[in-house]
Structure 1
Amino acid sequence: MPSSLKTKVDQRLNSYTPLKSTDRTKFFLNDFFKVIPSDGKENLAQYILECKDDAKLRQLVESIRIGLLIPMKAQGGKTPSPITPSPRSDLEDSIENLKNQNVEPITRSPQSQLRRHCLERDGNKCLATGAYSHTHDHPRNAPTTHLEAAYIIPFALGSFQANTEDDKHLHVWNNLTKYFPVLNRMSFERKHINSEKNILMLDMQLYREFGQFRLIFEETGLAHQYRIKTFRDTATVPIQNLPRNRLVKFRVHKGQWDLPDPQLLKIHACIGKFLHMSGQAEAIDKVLDDFEYCGGLAPSGNTNLQDLLAASSLSLLTSY
């Protein structure tokens, strides 16, 4: 990205006037700018510079929180909800283009087969700890656990009601492709969510940490080798059996199934890093806790109703 464009972004954000001491709009956008890839930075820079007043900048932040971060992190909920519209000038065309793709919703019917493929590919082992599936053949005295199939890009993004304009899914998918354009270069569409390259087998407890972006796989520069990164809020018991050096190497043990895609894992890692460096992980966890306890019907004194509705709009895949 040209340095002149970054300078303009810095000038625009530095000119922002906070509404109150807790207004983190400028810092949110700065942090998000740091973690997303260079082509995503160019798009974000364009959107920031299009915001001619401070209210539009705040609207841009909310469109990222409610139209990307909260739905990606949410684990449940069924109530449809509105998404804060982005102030982006290209939003209407982008959403219309997604509608015109006529993508059929994915279903859970292929999941048993996908699970078999991924278990075979991963040697019936957890990719993080190496523990074997307790329901499959394993060496005598080898550590065993219950394995779950963890989706990198959530299953819910490809699951929607057919023949309806399910805009909440389209907004989230549109945000993903704008801030992570590699999805377009990979030709990775919603119909590809149910594929081996989007799934890794993990210990049941690590599966939850991964789904909540409290455990990520960072690239190391070597093909299919990753460094596992955890955060302050990561549960300590599930990570006790991780390799001491936190390094793991993925390989196909059997079959010809795709390994988890490095680009998809990079997107997951970017979101995880941003959630924690920005403080959004804690804030969104509070939203999800409120939703769990009140069913999204009423916010606590510190939770916005719109955030609760966003938590209910999409869900990450639970075990199957």
Structure 2
Amino acid sequence: MTASKKVEAIYSRIVGYLLLRPPSETARGTVTLELESCNRDIKPYLAVYGLGAMYLKLLIQIFKKTRGRTPPPSEHSSRHSFDAIRDDYLQNLCATPRDHFSAKAAGLVRDDYRCMLTGRVDIKYGTLQPDRPFSATRTQCCHIFPDSLGNVAVGGTGLGAKELQAATVWTILEQFGYGDVCDQLKPDAGGTSLHRMENIMTLDMVVNHWFDELMVWLEEVPDERDCYYVRLAKPLTHTNTGIPERLQFVAHSDHPLPSPRFLQIHAACCRIAHLAGAAEHLDEILDEGEGMKVLDPDGSSARVLEYYLLRCGSRLVPPVV
């Protein structure tokens, strides 16, 4: 199979799995209507590929973090400054964090200074148990919906590329029956919505990497509030990661726990990415981009260029296959 045909197959499988394993019944209905529209196109197969490409680039791909330098384990300049923010949240537990720094601090308080998936204690801010093996770690503040979606102008007069991209993401989610999610997460005048505690998880820095790589996701246990099955993509296993198969989230402050609705969307995107082969496709693009210093004059690096242009907020371009 040629590279072009391989990508076309991925795009079509994305559409197929959105019908077979949709995040919601409303999503299934929306995709069905879109397919009917494709059938009326002059070239219906190309229209289907374009539909799959849109869902990959503006839904699944938003959860896939672009590779780069590993971020520092903590965004705090000192323990003293962290303590000040922590005390502020203990005084006003219903406050919504204003930025990444505040979300990290509030998340650590809520999550008892532990990774929510492994239970390991943050070595910088938590109280360690010296005789417990493998209990210490460094944590990071994980946004279920990436905070990059909030890096747009709010209330401006113009519509830039980033605003257009973010608006398209919210439109897709609304069409899929997640208008409530859009209302909660769309940036407000202060740009704080994506830092709300329902969108925040305290995770071990390696687990955070896996979460952002679509290799770890959570599926809600039916009829059990804040209880989840942990799903892992190969080669990860519950044994080699130390992550249990099932988790019960518990809040240690009055801040709300991660939203099941947010996690449901993330989980659906992870499942479809792996079932359709899109996760491997994105990894190939990132691997290709990491070893590239200049663009190839023959156009063979077009898909890498398209990927990074989209991630930095450039205007949408036709899919490169």
The 3-state SS of whatever aligns with 1:193 is helix
- CA change 1:285–1:22 in 2 (3 A) is closer
Q: Which moved more, 1:47-56 or 1:144-153?
A: 47-56
Q: Distance in 2 between matches of 1:266 and 1:169?
A: 19
Deviation of 1:307 (Å): 5.3
Deviations 1:112-150 (A, max 9, x none): 221111101101111101000101231432411000111
Partner Cα distance (2:216, 2:37) in 1: 35
TM-score of the pair, normalised by structure 2: 0.73
- In 2, the alpha carbon distance for the partners of 1:45 and 1:109 equals 39
Partner residue in 1 for 2:212 = 211
The match for 2:19 among 33, 44, 55 is 33
Q: Which residue of 2 aligns with 1:155?
A: 147
1:212: Cα distance to partner?
1.2
1:313 aligned counterpart, secondary structure:
helix
For 2:111 and 2:27, how far apart are their aligned partners in 1?
Answer: 32
Q: Distance in 2 between matches of 1:124 and 1:145?
A: 10
AA at the equivalent of 1:56: A
CA-atom RMSD in angstroms: 2.9
Match of 1:57 among 48, 63, 88: 48
Q: Name whichever of 47-56 and 277-286 sits farther off.
A: 47-56
Paired residue type of 2:262: L
**1:64: Cα distance to partner?**
1.4
Which ranges of structure 1 fall in alignment gaps of 5 or more residues?
Answer: 1-18, 78-107, 316-320
Higher relative contact order (CA 8 A, sep 6+): 1
CA distance in 1, matches of 2:108, 2:264: 22
* Structure 1 counterpart SS, 2:311: coil
Shift of residue 293, structure 1, vs aligned partner: 2.9
1:174/1:276 Cα in 2 relative to 1: closer, same or farther (>3 Å)?
Answer: same
CA drift of 1:183 comes to: 4.0
Name the count of aligned residue pairs. Answer: 261
Task: Report the counterpart of residue 308 of structure 1 in structure 2.
Answer: 305
Separation in 2, partners of 1:212, 1:23: 22
The percent identity for this pair of structures is 19
| Other structure's SS at 2:126 match | coil
2: CA distance between counterparts of 1:32 and 1:303?
30
C-alpha deviation, 1:269, in angstroms: 0.5
> Does 1:174 pair with 2:177?
no
Show CA shifts across 1:150-173 (max 9, x none). 110111111124534131222233
Q: Secondary structure at the match of 2:141?
A: strand
Q: Aligned letter for 2:227?
A: Q
Say whether residues 1:227 and 2:229 are aligned partners: yes
**Aligned match of 1:260:** 258
Q: What is the TM-score with the length of structure 1 in the denominator?
A: 0.73
